[in-house]
Amino acid sequence: MPETLGFSATILRPAYFIDNETMIADMVRKHNVYPMPIGSKCVAMVEACDIAEIAAIELIRRDRASGKLSVETINIVGTDILTGADVAAIWTEVLGRPIAYGGDDPGGFEASMANFIPEWMAYEMRIMAELLRQRRHDPSGGRPRASG
């Protein structure tokens, strides 16, 4: 779409933000369940600071270019490919006690989260979970970049 408007741009498409984990950390600790229905297609989580770093690099690259650059899309993903069960296993290791994976039901997740966060946010998180279940965010495909 930027091409039709006559300007160039870099479109950043980050995968699942690992920063989301801080929002659910208390729930995991209190209920021994990892509730995010991220599924089994695999997610390569990325930190917000990595997205900011990539954005800054791209802004500088475009600013220093000798001419107009074409539109570019960068898929931003982390280096580890994780399923919901994998993330529950990480929480198990970190907390030193069993943490179960809550399953792949985005609707049930939305209903549960609406008890703790605003309904609009629970709805948005359900939509995100549905998209994560449909797509595989694999560092080996496309042109992913993340600092680590």
In this structure, are residues 57 and 20 in contact, taking their beta carbons and an 8 Å threshold?
no
Whether the predicted pLDDT of 57 surpasses 90: yes
- pLDDT per residue as tens digits for the range 110-122: 998 888 889 998 8
pLDDT band at 91 (very low <50, low <70, confident <90, very high): very high
Whether the predicted pLDDT of 146 surpasses 60: no
List the single range of 40-44, 72-76, 79-83, 91-95 with lowest mean pLDDT. 40-44
Q: What is the mean pLDDT of residues 4-30?
A: 85
Cα–Cα distance measured from residue 114 to residue 68, given in angstroms and rounded to the nearest whole number: 46
Cα–Cα distance measured from residue 12 to residue 80, given in angstroms and rounded to the nearest whole number: 19
Average pLDDT, the chain: 84
The DSSP bridge pattern shows strands 10-14 and 33-34 to be: unpaired
Q: What is the mean pLDDT of residues 84-105?
A: 94
Tokens found for residue 29? 């600790």
Q: What is the mean pLDDT of residues 19-43?
A: 87
